[in-house]
Structure 1
Amino acid sequence: MSALRRALTALAFSALLSGVAVVSTPPAPAQAAVARDGTSSNKAALSCWAIKQDFPASADGVYWLQTPKLVAPQQFYCDMTTDGGGWVLIGRGREGWTFYYPGQRTPGAIRNTPSGTGAFAPAALPGDTVNGLLNGGRVDALTDGVRLRRAANNTGTSWQEVRWKFSNLDSWSWTFDANPTHKLSSVSVNGTNYGAGNTRDWNYINGSHRIFTYEWNNHGWKKGFSYGSLMGGASTSATSYLWQNSTEGNPIPFTQVFIRPKLTSASYGTVPEAGLPASTVTPLVSNSTTALPWGVTGVVGGGVGEEHLEVQAMGTLGNTIYVGGRFQYVQKGANPGPGEKVQQQYLAAFDVSTGEWRTQFLPTLDGQVWDIQTLDDKVIIAGEFTNVNGEPNTAGMAALDPTTGAVVPGWRTTFTRAGGLPVKIKALDRQGDWIYVGGGFNHVSGGNPLSSPVWAVAAARVRVSDGRPDADWTPHFDATVIELDASSQGDRVYFGGRFSNVNGQSANSFAVISTATPAALVPGMNNWLPSTTAQNRDYRQTVLEVGDKVWMGGAEHDFQLYTRDNLTRLTGHITRGGGDLQASVEIDGVVYGACHCPEFVFNDATSWDNTANWSNAHQILWIGAWDAQTGKYLPNFVPSIDSRRGDGPWELIKDANGCLWFGGDMNRGSWNSATSSYQWLGGFGRLCATDSAAPTAPTNLRTTGTTGGTQLAWNAGTDNSGAPDYEILRDDRVIAKTSSATFTDSNPQGTHKYWVRAIDDAGNRSASTAALHVQSTTSLMNLGSQWKWVYDGVDQGTAWSGTTFDDSAWAAGNGEFGYGDGGETTLIPAGTTPRHWTAYFRTTLNVANPAAYESLLIDLIRDDGAVVYINGTEVGRDNLPEGTIAHDTAALVGLQTNAEERTPVRFTVPASALVAGTNTIAVEMHQNNQWSADLSFDMSIKATLP
């Protein structure tokens, strides 16, 4: 055997033993067109419309759809009948729609129960799925608009067809009840166009031609697609298609929501040979709160309004969270037992992991805490207290022992304010060796010994080491500072509040001040752009620098994104009803903004006075989420929380575990199915990170067979949330999803490339495997087939392999043939030593049309050497020398191991070697020596399909 031949043989052994298919990879022929009729995942179509166009007889039912934006095939219900068909059902139900962007109930409920009384409980597809069905297209570009199919009587035998065409909507939103509303360029009912309108309340005739979607007390605060008061036939019956809560006479009908994207072509892009990288979902925190046993309750001195809330400040140090505000009690649960409601005013500490109250931390304050800044070994608090624990020089600010709450010896800062007004220290932030301070004050002293008072109006900075103020950095604001953010880049501090001037220069509610002395405004900054022209209604309450961007928010009800370099506004968002943004924090590239705003946010809107020209409206429930760099609103974050009196969260912080803590007058968390009740919150709550880590990638993608299709197998990936599923990609698109580490692609035609990647329940995808090239085959002859054979030591010459040779005197049997191994089906007599050199085998193969095949894959089990012939012509040899093969030619090497003897050798032969009709297949098997203890032979033939 030549060195090259030996290397190739070794490579074949290694590859086959590792499970890698050794197949030819000629230039791929033209692929047979896939009949994308939506009947299976690998036949998924772009849209219901595309199926109807290509397969006009398609009936109403469930089909597989896939777009590049949808990524993987999914099943949907298609109406293939109404108005030419091609409608996809995206939601259905009677009363109780949430209109949440993340959807309602499950996609399976929608497609499997599209109608009937079992469909009365509303279900809606996630907005991301609807946008996937649109393939990123605009909602206002839908030529047929959004279709509402409303029941028109209480038995569901009469229906009303409505078409909404939107005037300006860039992507999907379920907030049909938004106020101001989604505008409609036209509304048609049963084919008659009635002009423009809106999705919140379209009222052409107050009866059958009215649609209002907002919640209403007479409906028991349930949302739906309600008729007007003149629509008869309503009932309180659970089976009525026209539901009313009592006798209000405004029925909410069972309604189906359809869209009809007319997608017929799209590009899926090209998957690289090396595969795709991992991808992860946006790392949002959960919409569900984690239970906390303890909280804070009551408001010292009573009172209402934004300055009379339980929680205004929070900070973490190690595994402790410190909570400050105006609360009166620390309380365990909604119904505390003896000793579980303890008076501990203004400041308390809790375990970050368990939420248990830290009973050793018991400082005594005489006024509200507005902000908390934790240092390495101390907790700095700020507020409007005159002292802490009765200690002198702790007015407005103090450093506390993190375990006991005792005032730290030697660390002092104290504030005064002219005119007898109370000191209010509202904001703290550390930058390097300084703590920056903002609020309402005129002078500050500090350090040990206590410094002389420094004249600094509403802002100052004090040393981290001892609280001593910087006498050279003394900005003068003409009114209160509410919030500040010291840049992580060390060069500036952002201030927001109710001021108009800084150092005698105009600065309307927002200022950027250099950290260099003397505290001057940073030059080159543009004026920020208020959302209102109302005087004194444009104050700033939150500011946050993230990278090269700056977020700010406040009144009126705005959250805006600016460039860091010169304060150029990039985008804005307006919340209604409710409003002002009052806290913000960044976690993993997402900015969370809190407000007293439990209704809607209007994206790309910049004016409260005239909230118009917005790109979309989504729900916001007290806290919203935005991409920190692009400013894009992230509507999948809709936390299930509530507020005692509607003031919402006034503090947001993150802990070391990536959880978002929020504090204010919060009194309700998420639904607890175990107790069939909502979680109790005492002023504050916690939303922890969702899974945004990709699974590990599967490896060793290989074929395990091709009979009846291509059988793929791979080594499993792993995931932090359990065993992942797998997406199978064929020729640049996903064709299936499976939970096992195997998959069979049934009878694909032609040459294909496959990749596999893991996907977890959250939608995080691993990197994929590299491409595996596989050509589809059909079996022409299996292992164990019948052969004629002879092993008698007689030289058969050369004619024996031809088509005219008479083998009628030869013995017959089925593979495997041989002796010495114990696994033979047909035992060949071994005889005595020295044994015969060569065994001869012949069979026939009938092929109707060789042109139907591209090539033949011959898998030969041999021990030791062999030559294969088709119709008298040699088509392959293994483990034999080059040149003429004689009857007594010895195999090059003796195969010793079971793996060598049992692993097939593959020959790839052009299908043109066959003729139409009967073909003669012949094999001669040669021993390495005449004292060999065994001999083996069997063979299969597959044909590749073009």
Structure 2
Amino acid sequence: MKFRSPLAKIGAGVLALATTATALPVATAAETAQKIDGKTSATAAASCWEIKQLDPASNSGSYWLYTPQMEAPAQFYCDQETNGGGWVMIGRGREGWTEDYMGKGKADDLATNPDGTDAFSPVQLESKTVDALMGGKSPSSLEDGLRFKRATNAEGTQFQNAYAKRMNMDRWSWTLGAKANWSGIRFDNPAGLGTGYSIASTVGNVGDWDSRYNALVFTANKGTNWLNAFNFGYYIRGNTSATSYLWSPTSVSASAFTQVYVRPKLTQDSAGFATIADTGLSQEEQRQLPSSYSSKMQWRTSLESATGNVGEMNTPVQAIAEVNNTVFTGGDFKNISSASGETVDQSFLAGYDVNTGDLVRTFRPTFNGQIKALEGLSNGKLAVGGEFTQVNGQDVSGFVVLDPVTGEIDRTYDWVVQNRLASDITRVKTIQEANGFLYIGGSFTHVKGNTSQAFEYSRNAARFNMSNGSVDWNWNPEFNGTVNGISASTDQSNVYAAGYFTTNRGEATWKLANMNTTDGRLKMPWNWKLSYDNAMQGDRKGFQFDVQDADSSVFAGGAEHLIAQYNKADLSRMSSSITKRGGDFQDLHRDARTGVIYGACHCENWVYQNGDLHDNPWSTSTNINRIRMVGAFDEKTGEYLPDFNPMLTGQYGNGIWESFVDSTGVLWVGGDISKTLGASGTQDTVGFARYAPRDITPAAAPNNLTVTTDGTTDKLQWQSGTAGKTAYQVLRNDRVIATVTNGTAFEVPHVDGARYFVRSVDQAGNYSATTPVAVAPEQASAAA
């Protein structure tokens, strides 16, 4: 059996279809001998189209479908009448559609409740499920594209079919509001509504060619209470009736009850099912990513800043680090408060127990300015950078090292940073310890190491020797602008910088620099492509906020809305993504344990995978996904990983400014956050949020599978491999035929020589290894 990869997992939405009873309906022995008809799980077809080809008289309704990319057969609604039939419904509803990768609602509602006024609340299949229904092929390869069946009157007695082929998409996404490439657009109108309309190709969402019925616009706006829907042109109006198929609460175009279909032309013979070896299948490995639901809020910062300044450079949390099981969050907040209502008068910096999330009350340093950077040091101390001039009542300018338990200043090394330019303040914006050195970057002119050293000129970047606390004067870059981010490679070959600069020691280097580790000079030119080149922006165009080493490649992020991956060997671009309508990438963080780069931005709309130009990213993109201030990218390929799709909103739209994965694997994000979506609903999460690793560990595999037969029924029994409750999938030959939710036994009509396997499956979508094969006896031998 050719089971789909972890990245193609169809998820718990379809799993729920398979576990609504003790076992799925299974074909009788006579039915098994019949052709595929989609009427039972054991006779599931690969597509609605296959059912129609095998039975041209088949009616529209619910059928069982199964492809190699699916974990089990599931029921879907097939339209077997329109334009030759063979269409599978992937979504339906009136207003309130989502663009989220996870879809919306219960998947089985599409099969059991496809239309009518009680189907107005949208249900959309998870994107993985749609990919599975297409057999892993791209939406762009669908011969017939997408079909949108829309009501054209309030009574729901007339419908229009609109067709459009979505181009340049390598997998399914619900981001239908994003500007994208479409082709083969066609409107088939019912009698009395005027002639249809067609166009070969367009760029849009999907099209708005007139003010009446020949318009298909997926949008949300103030006039529709910000609820996504498929709208007609301006002059087609709806009403607010709960039973109207055309809805609009104000004088805006009508949102129509719509069904969305695709028509993949797959057959069971050509789908690619492979024979399972006698040893069975190994467990399926899912990629470790955070849950998309935020962890329960225990503490939050105030929305009010401690400095009194409001803006993207003064968000509540801008830096996160861990030392000795305490995670520290720093930024510009006036106080912190607990879920129980306690308010603690602690500004700028606080620590939380990494295991419990509790506030570390012994840590109470005081600052008079905001914090921009934190780093947990190998000597057990906490390095802090920012815009402050006093710490614990003592004069400290922009950089300090603290005891992580008491918050007292650590004087092990006398590290001092100064900015002697009258027009600027001392500001440390980035800190990294790597390869025996502590790197700092920001806005400053001079640094001093241990007490035996005097101040020396070091412009906007410097490094200290961790062994003796001295400044490493051999490594002495000189940037003519602020350094926002520094990342030293793990192989000690390069140091990268991002910022507002244009030169380093007089050599041209536009916003990104690749330096050697000996003297800080440029190692090679970084002639990267800007996403937006406007002479009016002057030296600010294309500024970069952060840079992150990733072994064989390096990532950079900043303006305009660009995150890009470069080959370290020659700094050529390997991949890129653009947010639109979005904002600049403001932070990059690598979790080397999972091979993920987290990119944070002030963006709450779409990310165009492989887009590289701000004005038209769809011209090169291969997919479009929804992003809300932070996303995950594969560190090897640069591919956006939509399985992680948190929902965050902010007070001012300033986005996330820091992401950090702690020692337990929890992702922390900080910035302009006011609400997040948790497992139990929306939370008033302010300043920072936590995302625990999702469950990717399957239950133990079952064992000792036996099968006996009386010539009529095959009786399967097995032993559980775990003391906890789990469901089991029964596989016959190369297909799943049932999911058992109660007990460790199953009966099925006898098939001579049938090869059976059983595996555990949990509600998180984790699948164990199967048992080795157990073969049903032949009837003759059973009778003997």
Q: TM-score, normalised by structure 2?
A: 0.90
Q: Give 1:687's aligned residue.
A: 691
Contact preservation (8 Å) 1:280, 1:763: no
What is residue 520 of structure 2 aligned with on the other side? 519
Cα shift readout 1:814-869 (whole Å, capped 9, x = no counterpart)? xxxxxxxxxxxxxxxxxxxxxxxxxxxxxxxxxxxxxxxxx434xxxxxxxxxxxx
Output the amino acid matched with 2:311.
G
Equivalent in the alignment of 2:393? 390
Any idea what SS the aligned residue of 2:183 has? strand
| Structure 2: unaligned runs, 5 residues or longer | 1-30, 191-195
Matched ranges for 1:264-283 at <5 A = 264=267, 265-283=270-288
Question: C-alpha displacement at 1:414, in angstroms?
Answer: 0.8
Indicate yes or no: 2:329 matched with 1:323.
Answer: yes
SS at match of 1:766: strand
How far apart are residue 486 of structure 1 and its match? 1.9
- Work out whether residues 709 and 777 of structure 2, in 8 Å CA contact, stay in contact via their aligned partners in 1: no
Distance 1:678 1:465 in 2: 47
1:562/1:568 contact within 8 Å kept: yes
The answer on whether the counterparts of 1:285 and 1:689 sit within 8 Å (CA) in structure 2 is yes
Q: Secondary structure at the match of 1:761?
A: coil
Distance 1:263 1:121, change over 3 A: same
Residue 285 of structure 1 aligns to a residue in which SS?
Answer: coil
Whether the 8 Å contact between 1:151 and 1:255 is mirrored in structure 2 is: yes
Distance 1:856 1:299, change over 3 A: closer
- Give the whole-Å Cα distance in 2 for the aligned partners of 1:166 and 1:541: 34
Q: Secondary structure at the match of 1:575?
A: strand
Change (3 A) 1:58 1:474: same
DSSP 3-state at the match of 1:307? helix
8 Å CA contact 1:166–1:186 kept in 2: the answer is no
Determine which structure has greater relative contact order: mean sequence separation of CA pairs < 8 Å that are 6+ residues apart, divided by chain length.
Answer: 2
How far residue 150 of structure 1 moved from its aligned partner, in angstroms, is 0.8
Query: Which residue does the alignment assign to 1:429?
Result: 432
1:697 correspondence with 2:622: no
Verify: 1:370 aligned to 2:369, yes or no: no
Q: Partner amino acid for 2:213?
A: S
2:7 corresponding residue in structure 1: none
Whole-angstrom distance in 2 between the partners of 1:539 and 1:775: 71
After superposition, residues 179-328 of structure 1 pair within 5 angstroms as 180-190=179-189, 192-195=196-199, 196-197=201-202, 200=205, 202-232=207-237, 234-246=238-250, 248-264=251-267, 265-297=270-302, 298-328=304-334
Task: Kindly provide the amino acid, as one letter, of the partner of residue 653 in structure 2.
Answer: G
Q: 1:755 aligns with which of 751, 754, 757?
A: 757
3-state DSSP of counterpart to 1:49: helix
Q: What CA RMSD, in Å, does the superposition of the two structures yield over aligned residues? A: 2.2
Cα offset for 1:165?
2.1
Q: Relative to 1, partners in 2 of residues 1:856 and 1:701: Cα closer, same or farther, differing over 3 Å?
A: closer
Any residues of structure 2 matched to 1:721-800 within 5 Å, and which? 723-740=725-742, 742=744, 744=746, 746-777=748-779
> In structure 1, what is the equivalent of residue 553 of structure 2?
549
Indicate conservation of the 8 Å contact 2:633/2:641, yes or no. Answer: yes
CA contact (8 A) 1:369 1:384 kept: yes
The alignment partner of 1:194 has SS state of: strand
> Does the 8 Å CA contact 1:155/1:241 hold for their aligned counterparts?
yes
1:277 and 1:671 map into 2 onto residues whose CA distance is: 33
Distance 1:581 1:193 in 2: 41
| 1:408 and 2:415 matched | no
Deviation of the 1:359 alpha carbon = 2.7
Matches of 2:143 and 2:197 in 1, distance apart?
Answer: 14
Q: 1:856 aligns with which of 771, 781, 784?
A: 781
Q: Which amino acid aligns with 1:213?
A: F
Q: Classify 1:465/1:345 alpha carbon distance in 2 versus 1 (closer, same or farther; 3 Å).
A: farther
CA distance in 2, matches of 1:443, 1:99: 50
Match for 1:361: what amino acid? F
Residues 425 and 708 (structure 1), Cα distance of their counterparts in 2 relative to 1, 3 Å cut: same
> Residue 673 of structure 2 aligns to a residue in which SS?
strand
What SS is found at the alignment partner of 2:776? Answer: strand
Distance 1:609 1:218, change over 3 A: closer
Task: Measure the CA separation in 1 of the matches of 2:682 and 2:697.
Answer: 29
Kept after mapping to 2: 8 A contact 1:399/1:412? no
Tell me, in whole angstroms, the C-alpha distance in 1 between the residues paired with 2:514 and 2:411: 34
Opposite residue 164 of structure 2, the aligned amino acid is: W
Q: In structure 2, what is the Cα distance between the partners aligned to 1:360 and 1:34?
A: 73
The one-letter code of the counterpart of 1:101 is: Y
Do the aligned residues in 2 keep the contact of 1:292 with 1:355 (CA within 8 Å)? no
Q: SS state of the match for residue 50, structure 1? A: helix
C-alpha separation between the residues in 2 aligned to 1:531 and 1:176? Answer: 23
Q: How far did 1:260 drift?
A: 0.9
For 2:468 and 2:332, how far apart are their aligned partners in 1? 27
| Structure 1 residues 150 and 776: CA distance shift in structure 2, 3 A | farther
Q: Distance in 2 between matches of 1:280 and 1:724?
A: 18
Quote how far apart the aligned CAs of 1:181 are.
Answer: 3.1
Residue 552 of structure 1: CA displacement? Answer: 1.4
Q: C-alpha offsets along residues 44-67 of structure 1, whole Å, 9 cap, x if unaligned?
A: 111011011112232222111111
Matched with 1:69 is 69
3-state secondary structure, aligned to 1:269: coil
Kindly tell me: are residues 214 and 414 of structure 1, through their superposed partners in 2, closer, same or farther at Cα, counting changes over 3 Å? same
DSSP-derived class of the 1:328 partner = coil
Distance 2:488 2:761 in 1: 40
Instruction: Quote how far apart the aligned CAs of 1:745 are.
Output: 5.8
Can you give the 5+ residue segments of structure 1 that lack an aligned partner in the other structure? Answer: 1-30, 778-854, 858-940
Matched with 1:445 is 448
Change (3 A) 1:776 1:120: farther
2:650 matches 1:643: yes
Q: Indicate the residue corresponding to 2:620 in structure 1.
A: 613
From 457, 460, 463, give the equivalent of 1:461: 463
Change (3 A) 1:68 1:193: farther
How much does 1:101 deviate?
1.5
Structure with max Cα Rg: 1
Cα separation, partners in 2 of 1:856 and 1:342, compared to 1, 3 Å: closer
Judged with a 3 Å threshold, the aligned counterparts in structure 2 of structure 1 residues 442 and 686 are, in CA distance, closer, same or farther, namely same
2:606 aligned residue (600, 603, 606): 600
Is the 2:730–2:738 Cα contact (8 Å) retained in structure 1? yes
Distance 1:742 1:346, change over 3 A: closer
Aligned partner of 1:79: which letter?
D
SS, match of residue 767 in structure 1: strand
The reply on whether 1:632 has 2:631 as its aligned counterpart is: no
Q: Secondary structure at the match of 1:856?
A: helix
Corresponding residue of 1:102: 102
Q: 2:587 aligns with which of 583, 587, 590?
A: 583
Secondary structure class of the residue paired with 2:111: helix
CA distance in 1, matches of 2:543, 2:203: 32
Deviation track 1:36-95 (CA, whole Å, cap 9, x = no partner) reads 111121211110110111122322221111111224211111112222221111100110
SS in structure 1 at match of 2:49: helix
1:858-894 CA-to-partner distances (Å, cap 9, x unmatched) read: xxxxxxxxxxxxxxxxxxxxxxxxxxxxxxxxxxxxx
> Which residue of structure 1 aligns with residue 169 of structure 2?
169
Correspondence 1:141 to 2:152: no
Q: Could you report, residue by residue, the CA deviation over 1:639-696 in whole angstroms, capped at 9, with x for unpaired residues?
A: 12111100111000011221110111111121574xxx62112211111111112322
Q: Which residue type is aligned with residue 764 of structure 1?
A: N
Cα distance in 1 for partners of 2:699, 2:638 equals: 28
**Residues 737-746 or 610-619, more deviating:** 737-746
Alignment check: 8 A CA contact 1:90 1:124 kept: yes
Q: Distance in 2 between matches of 1:712 and 1:199?
A: 55
Residues 569-578 or 296-305, more deviating = 296-305
How many Å separate the matches in 2 of 1:198 and 1:176? 12
If the length of structure 1 is used for normalisation, what is the TM-score? Answer: 0.75
Q: Which residue does the alignment assign to 1:884? A: none
Q: Name the CA distance, whole Å, in 2 between partners of 1:353 and 1:440.
A: 36
